Every structure is written in structure tokens, then in C-alpha cells.
A and B are shown apart, each in its own frame.
Chain A
Amino acid sequence: MTTVVQAQGVPQQAVAGPARAPMSPEALWGAMLVLPYLAVFVLFVAYPVAYGLWLGASPANYVRLWNDPIFVRAIVNTLVFLIIAVNLKLFLALLLSGFFLYPYSWVRWISFVFILPWAIPSLVTILSFRWMLNAEWGMINQLIFRLTLDDGPAWLNSPTLALSAVIVVHIWKYLPFWTLILLAGRMAIPAELYESAQIDGANRWQLFRFVTLPGIGNLYVTCTLLSTILSLGDFNSVYLLTGGGPNDTTHVLSTLGIRYAFGLAETGMGVATVIVALPLVIPLVIVMIRRFGRAVEA
């Protein structure tokens, strides 16, 4: 009974600062309530990651990968995809966030329509793009034929055009999300800053350069880094649009890993394909965790 009475005194100490006593009921409850998450982490993150590193450990896999032209092509594709898709998407999002700032009601209506790609499952819209880009029967080439009486290009049969189509599809899907993030960032800039700059005679470009950019520059960099990591995992845009084709020329690392592991039943090669991206992923993750940590303290 005495322990119970003592225990009820503990929360009051806890209010003043973190409880030091390791077995206070608060701490015990706390440990029990994080337990489900820790179980999920250990069973479905820590173990698969360790298992994956073990599966991909054999150096022979990397020698074989390096000698596979499809793999080298996939590395190049991944870099092209990341550099162009991420930067073009965020630059467009930055421009569009300015458009959606205008307080007209018709602009609000357009923003309502604009987020449709985010609300609809990507599987469906990517397949819509796929048939739309069909060389013979697709709507795009029909339109080109009716306007110019010429046959349009075979979009998904040319490696360059197919990878470009993948980039367009990716931007179409994710532009709304990043536009909303940057829009929220812009709206958080105090209006007085713009007013005082206008009183000082700043023009539109100067307002953007000296008020908007410093206000959301940091956010823009964070978005670029985060989007790079998320885009590395964009499996659907490639797999459902081109399937890696024509002739496996449009694979990125995430689709090539699945092709090795499930298409060719080479699990070790599939995991190794993904491990190759770690020199890019790990620095990005470290930088992101530092940035998130700073944001929480601020």
C-alpha cells in the first residue's frame, strides 16, 4: 500500500521535469505504450533491413551488376529522373504557389481541381497516360494526326521519350502536394514584410527576391531533399507506364530491383541493386534528420 501512495506523488515531480526514477508508474506506462510501435519497428523495419543487407552482402553480385548494361542504364536513368523530375517539379510548384496566392474565388476553384491528381490513386492515372500515349490508338497521337495530318512519335517505344513521359507523369502526380506545401510556406511570411518593402518602392521581382525567397528558401531546400528521397522510391510511375521498356532501357533502381528479385528470381541481385543507392540515401537521411530536429527545437 505504501508504494501506491508514493507512486501517486510521482506525477507532480514529473510536471517539474523528466522523472528520473526508472520504474515510476509513469515510466512503466510510457514503456508499455511505446511497445507496440517498437514491436512494429523491430519486426518489420530492423529485421528486414538487416536481412536485406545480409542478402545483398556478396561482392559477386556487385561485379555482375556492374557488367550488366541494363543496370548501368538504370543508374543513369535514376540520376536523370531525380535531377530533372525533382527540380522541375519544385520549380513549377514555386511558380504555381504564387498563382494560388491570388485571392480571387476562381483561383480557389482552380486549386480545387488542381489537387485531383493527388486525390486519385496513381495506378489509375498512370494507366490512363499509358493508353493515351499509345502510338497507334492513343488520344495524343490522334490529336496530332487531326491537327497536322502527320503520325505522332511512338512515345513509349523510344527510350528517351519514354523516360520523359515517366518524368511528366511523376510531375503530374506530385506537383499538387509540393505546391500546397510551398503555398503554406508563403502564407506564413508576415504581410508587413511585403507592405514595408512596397513602401520602400520594391517592384514585383524585388519583392520575390528580397522577401519571398529568404522567407521560404530554407523550406525549398528541405522540400528538394525530401522529394529526392521520396522520388527514389517512385516505383509506380516507371513500372506502370513503361514496365522498364522498351528493352529494359527505362528502368530506375526501384523497378530494376523488383525485376531481378521477382522477374528473374535473383533475390541477391535485387537487393544489391537497391543497396547501390545507399551512398546517396544515407547522406540525404542524415541531413534531413538534422533539419527536422532543428525544426522541432525552433
Chain B
Amino acid sequence: MNSRATLKQARLGVIGLVVLVWTLVPIYHMLVMALTPPKEAHAGQLWPANATLENFETVFRQGHFFLHHFWIQLWNSVFVAVAAALITLLVAATAVFAISRLRLSWGSGVTTLALLTYLIPAAFLAVPMYRTMNQYGLLNTQWALILSVVTFATPYAIWVLKQYADKLPRELEEAARIDGATPLQIFRFVFVPLMAPSLVAIGTYALLLAWNEYLYAFLMLSREQSMTLPVAIGLFLTNDDPPWNILMATGIIYSLPPAAIYYAFRRYMVSGLTAGAVKA
């Protein structure tokens, strides 16, 4: 009996090991490259024999042709992500409040529109969206990217938030109504506090969506001063033999904030974001 349990543990252990190797190999490769001195980029090392932080220093000093605007581009990424998250939250939360709590008669139609938008692959809409932003005069401004992300984040936000909003008890709202609160006051003082956990999850979702967005960012932003970090990283590839060590160091710096946020809000993210799909 005991040996059978051990055998089972060992079998599971092998699966666990395979999962770990599969997951970590590209990340390990990133670290090795980022820690290797630039002149050894083509040495094909399996581990960083002469590990150095030189590449990170180059990034922070903006000491490479591709990185002359690193800090402003990092700031651009922060600004776009925060703005997109706040606007998504505002647009989605007010819509859900109207649909779910004020029982808007055409609310289910709005939900269907949102669902329909969620099911359009964003890459498919890129060309007309680019032309549209040009017509609106927003091309090459960060608002083009922010509004694109809001467009693709709000449908999912509405879908997930509505499932939570529909479950809220009505008693608090009714008490507030009897006390003469307007719908706007109910939204502000009853709805938002009760929905706080799912709003955090959705805000984080939109924040990460904006931070990670590459296609729309490189289409909409072509000036080095206004582009976000992923566009700048993509520009490395315009060189036939890009400095991979510096590229990977920049990539690691760019990955740390979303990874940290992700792990910090892991509990909310997993339960909040999987709920939408698991329901179906």
C-alpha cells in the first residue's frame, strides 16, 4: 500500500518536472541572455558564465541607439495602461449599473452588443480602426491606443461585472432609495463599494491588456517620444542582428510590473476572470 502511494507520487513528480521545464525554459533563456555580456551574444551559452548587470545598466542609462527614449517610453506605457484601466472601469461600471440595477428595458440588447464585440478578434479590426483613428485626428496620439484598448476591454468587463452585479442583494439600494438617494448616489455609495473586488479584477485586466498591447500600439504610435515600451522593443527587430542581450534585459524590465501586479492580485484575477468563461 505504501509503495503504491510512493509510486503514484513519483509519477506525479515526473509530470510536475516536465511542467516546470516546459514553463521555465524560455524564461531561463531570457535571463541567461540578459545577464550575458553583449560581446558574448553569439557564444551560444547554456548558462551565464560571466554574468553581468551591464545590459540592465545600459538600459537605465539609455545607452543604446534603440533605447534613447527608454524612460519616456516607460512612462508612456504607465500612462496608457492607467488611463485605459480607469476609462474601462468607468464606462463598464456605469453601463452594468444601468443594465443590472436600474433594469434598463433594453439592457439585454446592450449586453448582446458587448458580447458580440468581445467575440471580434481585435487583430481583424486593426486596419479599419487605424483608418478610423486617422479620421478622428487621433493617430499618433496616445488616445488612439487608449481608446482602442477601452474598446476591446469594456465588452469583457461588462460581461464579467454583470454576472456579479446581478447577484447583489436589493435591500441596501432600496433603503438608500427610501432615504431619497438619486441613482447616481446609489451608484457611488452602494454599488461601487459592493462591487469593489470584481472592479479590482477588471481594472487589473484592462491595465494588463493595455500594458501588453503590441499590434495596435505599433500601428497607432510611430514617434519615438510617444510610443509605448513594446513598440520600442519591437523596433529592435528592424536591425538584422539586433543586440539580443540588451533586448532581453529591456524585456525583463518591461515584464516585471505586469508580473508583479498579476501575482499580487492573483486571487482576484483567477476567480474574477475565469468566472466569465466557467459559467458557460
Instruction: Identify the A interface with B (CB < 8 A).
Output: 8, 11, 14-15, 18-19, 25-27, 29-34, 36-38, 40-41, 43-45, 47-49, 51-52, 55, 96, 99, 102, 104, 106-107, 110, 113-125, 127-129, 131-132, 136-139, 141-143, 146, 172, 180-181, 184-185, 188, 219, 222-223, 226, 229-230, 232-236, 239-240, 243, 253-254, 257-258, 261-262, 267, 270-271, 274, 277, 281, 284-285, 288-289, 291-296
Contact = CB atoms under 8 A, between A and B. Distances in A.
Contacts of B51: none
A180 B95 CA distance: 29
Contacts of B45: 142
Main secondary structure of the interface of B (DSSP, over half): helix
B82 to A, nearest CB: 16
Contacts of A55: 127-128, 131
B277 A223 contact: yes
Contacts of B214: 121-123, 235-236, 240
B274 A131 contact: no
A25 B219 CA distance: 43
Contacts of B174: 11, 15
Given A288-B119, A289-B112, A37 B233 contact: no
B16 A40 contact: no
A35 B217 CA distance: 27
Q: Which of A55, A114, A139, A223 has the most CB of B within 10 A?
A: A139
B184 interface: yes
B33 interface: yes
Contacts of A119: 258-259, 262-263
Contacts of A115: 262, 266
Interface in B198-236: 211-212, 214-215, 219, 230, 233-234
B280 A33 contact: no
A29 B244 CA distance: 55
B91 A172 contact: no
Contact of B95 (A34, A102, A122, A284): A34
A254 B123 contact: yes
B190 interface: no
A213 to B, nearest CB: 16
17 contacts: A8-B180, A32-B98, A34-B98, A34-B99, A44-B150, A110-B16, A113-B20, A138-B44, A139-B29, A139-B46, A172-B22, A235-B214, A236-B215, A240-B237, A254-B121, A258-B215, A285-B116
Contact of A44 (B30, B147, B247): B147
Contact of B29 (A123, A131, A285): A131
A123 B91 contact: no
Contacts of A292: 115, 159, 279-280
**Those 9 A-B pairs whose CB atoms lie nearest each other, nearest first:** A233-B121, A52-B128, A124-B251, A119-B262, A30-B102, A254-B123, A33-B98, A29-B183, A37-B95
Interface string B94-138: 110111001111010010111111011111111111111000100
Interface in B31-73: 32-33, 41-46
A254 B103 CA distance: 39
B172 interface: no
Contacts of A258: 123, 126-127, 215, 219
Given A99-B12, A132-B29, A40 B230 contact: no
A219 B159 CA distance: 17
A248 B45 CA distance: 31
A17 to B, nearest CB: 8
Contacts of B115: 288-289, 292
Interface in B14-29: 15-16, 19-20, 22-27, 29
A226 B277 contact: yes
B83 interface: no
A128 B170 CA distance: 51
A32 B187 CA distance: 13
Contacts of A271: 127-128
B140 interface: no
B222 to A, nearest CB: 11
B252 interface: yes
A251 to B, nearest CB: 12
Given A31-B104, A185-B278, A296-B279, A139 B44 contact: yes
Contacts of A141: 44
A47 B132 contact: yes
A15 B170 contact: yes
Contact of A257 (B46, B124, B148): B124
B90 interface: yes
A271 B130 CA distance: 12
A284 B110 CA distance: 20
Given A127-B233, A222-B280, A233-B124, A29 B91 contact: no
B76 interface: no
Contact of A26 (B158, B183, B230): B183
Contacts of A102: 12
A235 B23 contact: no
A232 B116 contact: no
Contacts of B103: 14, 18-19, 26, 30
B277 A181 contact: yes
A123 B102 contact: no
B19 A30 contact: no
A187 B215 CA distance: 36
